[in-house]
Amino acid sequence: MDLSKIDNPSLLKEMNTKQLEELAEEMRQFLIGNLAATGGHLGANLGVVELTLALHKVYTSPQDRLLWDVGHQSYIHKILTGRGNQFSTLRKYRGLCGFPKRIESEHDIWETGHSSTSLSAAMGMAIARDLKNESHSILPVIGDGALTGGMALEALNHIGHEKKSVTVILNDNEMSIAKNVGALHGALGRMRSAGKYNRAKDDLEWLLKKIPAVGGRIAQAAERLKDSMKYFVVPGMFFEELGFTYYGPVDGHDFEDLLENLNYAKKTEGPVIVHVMTQKGKGYHPAESDVKDKWHGVGPYKIESGEKIKPSSAPPAWSSVISETLRREARTDDRIVAVTPAMILGSKLEKFGEEFPDRLYDVGIAEQHATTLSAGLATQGMKPFLAIYSTFLQRGYDQVIHDVARQNLNVIFGIDRAGLVGADGETHQGVFDISFLRSVPNMVISMPKDENEAQHLVHTAVKYDDGPIAIRYPRGNAEGVDTDEELHTIPIGSWEILKDGKDGVILTFGTTIKMALEASKKLEEEGISICVVNARFMKPLDDSMLHDLMKKDIPVLTVEEAVLQGGFGSSVLEFAAEEGYRSQWIKRMGVPDRFIEHGSVPELWEEIGLTEEKIIENLKEMIPTKQQRA
């Protein structure tokens, strides 16, 4: 079958099991072949091929509402809903999004890139459905890793309490991005090993009905015994205690098992859990045998061997620079404890964990808990390092304010993937953290220009005992500079002049320093002298240097790979206003007031005007001509 020509999942309605199995194999080969060129979330999608086909066969989208938690496992859904012909553009600039996207298709009814949101959204949709007297099914598909998120548990509690007809598809592959942790994961493991509870309960009911009733008592006792079977067959039966009818465990790669249980669920009133067992990476050996889940999200690779296609020599990843410096510091400072919300691999903490297994805590997909856990550690004199992606720190914002900053606790925030992240797009762009952290009292925010400065900032953060401090660092590889053997502290709030100049000044940091220096060099060739400052602390500002620069009465251009509203440039404008300097001499460049979609970082820079050429253009507009200066 030409998968690029499928325009609607209705073709599945007439397919038999053999045809579905053949289509599933074609789907897998399609994914393996296409993602070898584009990269993407391979393991998760290979694991849900049969499940997605079965859901679309039993239910009718978009009349029935199908929600994908996190959304990185929606590729088969996209092919079935008419987007197979766009897979060569997957995660590319202005191409097919790697997550559900409402403007792409009427079948994408919920956009997401973060975990644990689908059940709350499904409950909202169920309430709306019932208020409008409609009758469609609502089916959130959530992984066992995402189910550890507090928001998912809050929604389960509410759905069960209200007895709403929501069919939760629990896709249990024993993994999220890395191996799952937590007591709930253990409970699911016991359910997996317990066999099919509902079928056992139904068989028992049939058997008991064959026993002649004696005075009615046996019949009543039999009913009670039937209902209590869950305590023997499935220890705890967590979901049924919450008010859900439980089906499973179901073999997620067996169409007969899937279709039988989904049809049971379709006929069941009220809250339902269908517990489906799948294998991440199913059908592609390198991904199937991936115990460290390096096939969760991949770049291009060689299909035959599974070898990743990467530059032969590249500087270390920013995450590695930070984590290795932390490991070095931990050897001489017993206070250091690393905490991460399910991102040991992404934040490159594996080696730290190997050397200090009792000082690394993966709390699962629970950013709020991770933040307050770190606060608790800090109250006891420890030095917690919370390694967390910028986009996920958003989920722990109340805890940053209420639990960490308000108590002025010594928590180090290692903010990974700060700035534009490229292919993962708008749900993952790490461009908001400066704005939402800058307004928080007691918070220090920094970002290194290269790996050498990064190691000194980590050392500075470990030695800093006056409250919380954040180190931002981008996705990808560092600059490839030599690093110092001896570490030293950098004075909090201090900036450095990278290039002096008298006609104007660029204040910038991190990823945009290189373009600022190049722009300054080109302007120098035209006789325009520009000062470039590494503003490595976004908070506090280097007030002393700002006074010196603004007293020169020359134009100031701020450049940041972050949102302009409330960002670093705004803080410079605030400083000028408070100190009586002319704000008309200040201009800001950064991310505009809109969500930035997917594409390579250079393409996104071009789209939003964050380029060397735009820096030159802005400075030329701001700097008076020689005649005006004369």
Domain boundaries for CATH 3.40.50.970 within the chain:
60-72+99-283, 318-472
- Superfamily of chain region 60-72+99-283: Thiamin diphosphate (ThDP)-binding fold, Pyr/PP domains (3.40.50.970)
Mean pLDDT throughout 196-213?
52
CB 90 within 8 A of CB 35: yes
Least confidently predicted of 175-189, 407-421, 524-538, 592-606:
175-189
Reported as a single tens digit per residue, the pLDDT across 551-560 is: 998 999 999 9
Reported as a single tens digit per residue, the pLDDT across 344-383 is: 999 999 999 999 999 999 998 999 999 999 999 999 999 9
Least confidently predicted of 91-105, 284-298, 389-403, 411-425:
284-298
Least confidently predicted of 96-110, 166-180, 614-628:
166-180
Domain boundaries for CATH 3.40.50.920 within the chain:
496-622
113 labelled ligand-binding: yes
330 labelled ligand-binding: no
Query: Could you confirm whether 91 is annotated as catalytic?
Result: no
Confidence of residue 538 (pLDDT cuts 50, 70, 90): very high
Least confidently predicted of 28-42, 278-292, 399-413, 576-590:
278-292
Task: Give residue 302's pLDDT.
Answer: 87
Q: Which residue shows structure tokens 């689908």?
A: 118
218: pLDDT strictly greater than 70: no
Confidence of residue 109 (pLDDT cuts 50, 70, 90): very high
16 labelled ligand-binding: no
Task: Give residue 205's pLDDT.
Answer: 52
3-state secondary structure of 359: helix
Average pLDDT, the chain: 90
346 labelled ligand-binding: no
E strands present in 203-356: 245-251, 272-277, 336-340
Reported for 266-270, long-range contacts at CB under 8 A and 24+ positions apart, including other chains, are 266/58, 266/59, 266/137, 266/167, 268/167, 269/165, 270/163, 270/164, 270/165, 270/243, 270/244, 270/245
The neighbour count for residue 407, using CB atoms within 10 Å, is: 14
Mean pLDDT throughout 611-629?
82
Q: Which residue has the higher pLDDT, 153 or 233?
A: 153
CATH 3.40.50.970, applies to 318-472: yes
Please identify which of the residues 50, 111, 240, 367 carries the catalytic annotation: 367
Task: Give residue 236's pLDDT.
Answer: 33
Report cis status (omega within 30 of 0) of the bond before 357: no
Please identify which of the residues 348, 383, 395, 587 carries the catalytic annotation: 395
189: pLDDT strictly greater than 70: no
247 labelled ligand-binding: no
Mean pLDDT throughout 466-472?
98
| DSSP conformation class of 624 | P
Report cis status (omega within 30 of 0) of the bond before 271: no
Task: Give residue 177's pLDDT.
Answer: 47
Query: Could you confirm whether 367 is annotated as catalytic?
Result: yes
214: pLDDT strictly greater than 50: no
Confidence of residue 584 (pLDDT cuts 50, 70, 90): confident
Q: Which residue has the higher pLDDT, 187 or 157?
A: 157
Query: Could you confirm whether 587 is annotated as catalytic?
Result: no
CB 332 within 8 A of CB 493: no
263 labelled ligand-binding: no
Q: Which residue shows structure tokens 């220009």?
A: 449
145 labelled ligand-binding: yes
Mean pLDDT throughout 94-112?
94
- Output b/e per residue, 56-68; b: 16+ Cβ within 10 A: bbbbebeebbbbb
Please identify which of the residues 83, 92, 164, 280 carries the catalytic annotation: 280
231 labelled ligand-binding: no
| Distances in whole angstroms, Cα of residue 227 to Cα of each of 202, 236, 345, 519 | 10, 13, 43, 74
Quickly name the fold that domain 496-622 has: Rossmann fold (3.40.50)
